[in-house]
Amino acid sequence: MVSKRKYNKYFMQAVELVSTYTYLDYTQLDLCYKRLSMYADYYQQETCDKTIVLGCCMHDHIIKIPYVTRFSDKYVDKLNHELAYLMRYANQFKHGLFLTLTVDPKRFTNPKQMYQAVQIGFNKLMTYLRKEYDTKYYIKTIEFTSSHLPHVHIMLFTNVYIPIQKVRELWNEKYNIGIMVRIEYIHTKYVISKDNQPYAIYPLNYILKYILKTYENTNDDKSTITRTWQWSLRCRAYSISYALVSLINKKKINSNLDQPKPCLWEYLISINEIQAREWITYNQVRNYLEQLYGNG
């Protein structure tokens, strides 16, 4: 039997810590973060040279994928590739509202509880805005301050006026998350570069800088704080609305109609890159796993 993939032990320790840690004063979050940083360092050491091996028994094939984590240099390339693809479709929006929503830590006593409240509040807010203002398209990211508090950045692709008083009322009084709310109207700007070439700055660019700076500025303390908290809370670097996903999918052309049935890939093992170099076929990896774990 092929071994099932297991989560890294240091990652699971970090997940457990943020789920059980209780703070009486939000300044104690710094103590929690110091332990998370230790787990993150050990995690990076264990995964930096790993390779994920997937296999297809039907064709006796394997593929080897670099073990890319949000702490890897390659993660920035992956993120840029995803966002470049998104920009091809999201840059059709010429107007936007940029929302920033903050958290009052005094209303919570646990990091995960605080993060979950933000997620639930965000979903409720977007449901309200979609019904009242037809705001279907958005992209969002969650940053963490130097005090280890999450705050949400949202780019709503719309030119509809949304009163800040109503958003603040929902976020503060109804959802009971925080007081500070900021809304900024954004429109496409056309500028001239240093080499006299015109280019456009779209609403999407305003939130992309918040997403990318977290992973490009690896030596920046604030970026490290955000990466570590996002990792331990299983928080995505960014998320987009279902409507935006659907819009992108409609643009895709199905070119696989006449292609042969694809391989059914299964996870086999995560292992040192040097060890994985010798494997070429699925059976070679299965033989290794049987020697390692037995047939049971």
Query: Could you state, in chain order, the average pLDDT of each consecutive group of 10 residues for the chain (296 residues)?
Result: 66 96 92 96 89 86 87 88 87 94 95 96 96 95 95 95 95 95 92 80 91 87 95 95 84 48 77 82 86 70
User: Can you give the residue range of the structural domain that contains 173?
Assistant: 73-251
In sequence order, the 6+-apart residues with CB closer than 8 A to the CB of 182 are 99, 100, 164
Specify whether 113 is located in the same domain as 222.
yes
Which phi-psi region, left, alpha or beta, contains residue 214 (left: φ > 0; alpha: ψ -120 to 50)?
A: alpha
- 66: its two tokens: 């670099």
Helical segments of 26-144, H only: 29-47, 73-90, 111-133
Give the model's pLDDT for residue 256: 44
Specify whether 121 is located in the same domain as 240.
yes
Give the model's pLDDT for residue 195: 78
Give the model's pLDDT for residue 68: 86
pTM: 0.84
Beta carbons of 156 and 137 less than 8 angstroms apart: yes
Distances (CA, A) of 77 to 81, 84, 222, 250, 267: 6, 10, 21, 25, 23
Distances (CA, A) of 206 to 104, 183, 191, 260: 25, 13, 15, 42
Domain count, the chain: 2
Residue 296, helix vs strand vs coil: coil
- 113, amino acid identity: Q
The C-alpha atoms of residue 229 and residue 247 are separated, in whole angstroms, by 31
The C-alpha atoms of residue 226 and residue 143 are separated, in whole angstroms, by 6
Specify whether 98 is located in the same domain as 121.
yes
Give the model's pLDDT for residue 153: 97
Structural domain includes residue 217? yes
The C-alpha atoms of residue 136 and residue 157 are separated, in whole angstroms, by 8
Pick from 242, 203, 216, 173: nearest CA to 76: 216
Specify whether 166 is located in the same domain as 287.
no
Specify whether 212 is located in the same domain as 287.
no
- 152: its two tokens: 């949400």
Specify whether 150 is located in the same domain as 86.
yes
Structural domain includes residue 3? no
Structural domain includes residue 269? yes
